[in-house]
Each structure stands twice: as C-alpha cells, then as structure tokens.
Amino acid sequence: MNKKDKIELIKSYFNEILPNATCELNYTKDYELLIAVVLSAQTTDKKVNELTATLFKKYKSIDDFDNADLKDIENDIKSIGLYKNKALALKDIAYKLRYKFNYKVPSSKEDLLTMKGVGNKVANVILIELFDKEEFPVDTHVFRCSKRLGLASKDDSINKVEEKLRKTFDKKDYKKLHHQFIHFGRYYCKAINPSCKNCRLKEICKDKIKNRFDQ
C-alpha cells in the first residue's frame, strides 16, 4: 500500500469510528482549559475532570488562584500525580495571567511557554482549542499510535513525530485528527490489550505481536 492510500485509509477509518472526537477536558473559561491541560500531565482526563469539578467551584477566578496559599492548592490537587509541581505551575499561571497578560490566555506560543507547566504540547493544545491555530499536539496516545501505524519510526522523538504528522496531513485536518488519534489510542489502540481483532488498520500496523490479531 502506497503512502497516499495509507493516509486515506487512516482518515476514513477514524471518521468511521470517531466522527465526533473532541477535547474531553471540562471547562467553561479559557484559563480553566489551560489549568486542566497542565493538570493532565501523566494523569487521565477522567481524573482531571473529577478534580476540576470541585477545584473550579472553590477557585472561581484567576485572582482566586493567585491569592490562594500554595499549600492549599497542593492539598486541593493532591489526588493526582506531580501535585506539588502542578501547584507551583498553577500559581505561576495565575500570576502571569493576572499581571502580564491582562487576564487573557495568550494566543502566541512564545507567551504561553513563559508559564510554568506549559511546554510545547500544552501550548499546542491551547493554540488549537482556543485559537484554532494549525498545531498538532503529540501526547502519549498520538505518539504511540503514530508509530504503530507507520507514520513515524520506532526511535523518533516527540518533536520528530510532530514534524512527520505535520508533513503527512493537511493543515485543515490537524485539529480533528489530533482528537481522533487521542481517542483511537485511548479507547481502541490502547498501550496494553489493544483492540486489534476488528481493526481495519491492522494491515498497516507495525506492532504485530504474535496472535494478537486473532484475539
């Protein structure tokens, strides 16, 4: 199968099984999404949503987060991993949104990256979700599935995977495909016990473990 046919197969299958894939983090304000994405590092979206359901009721504004004691925030988010570092990040984000960015989540990657807890992936998520920028965030699901589907090499770094995905797909499809890759990895092509038997992409899969496709 040539590259063009493989790309069309992937897009067609994703559209068949995941036509409405979207961001699963819950938020009502722009800064809440930024906080939720930072909290989601090495944590499931489900756990983050459970946490922010109460967190955003306690801290109703950027000022509330900025004025809060660091220890209080630590206690409020200690149910998730890396909570001490994430509490520091939330304090820094709130401070900078309040005093540097006039209470608005910035729309430039350069500005986003000045805040603690915001790396390339987090910045890209914010840019596509809030500003419809042509970015292709690579999380653990996108990273794994891209390699399994032969869109990236086994030893490629996250940045290299992002670069290859950008070159492979049309810019207009980045946002939709980003979500479809995440949902595909989260619910179908899981790290452990992926659902391979009925997957229409198994013919191009590079991760063919013995007998997996027969189970």
Please, what's the b/e burial string for 180-207 (b: 16 or more CB within 10 A of its CB; e: otherwise)? bbbbbbbebbeeeebebeebebbeebeb
Quote the Cα angle for 58-38-93, to 5°: 70
Instruction: Output the six-digit token pair for 196.
Output: 């391979």
Dihedral-angle region of residue 130 (phi above 0 means left; psi in -120 to 50 means alpha; beta otherwise)? alpha
Helix boundaries (H) for 100-172:
109-112, 120-131, 140-148, 158-168
- Residue 121 annotated among the catalytic residues of the structure: yes
Helix H or strand E segment including 7: helix 3-17
Q: Which is the catalytic residue, given 96, 121, 175, 176?
A: 121
Q: Which is the catalytic residue, given 66, 91, 96, 139?
A: 139
Question: Of 108, 99, 38, 105, whose CA–CA distance to 73 is shortest?
Answer: 38
Catalytic residues: 121, 139
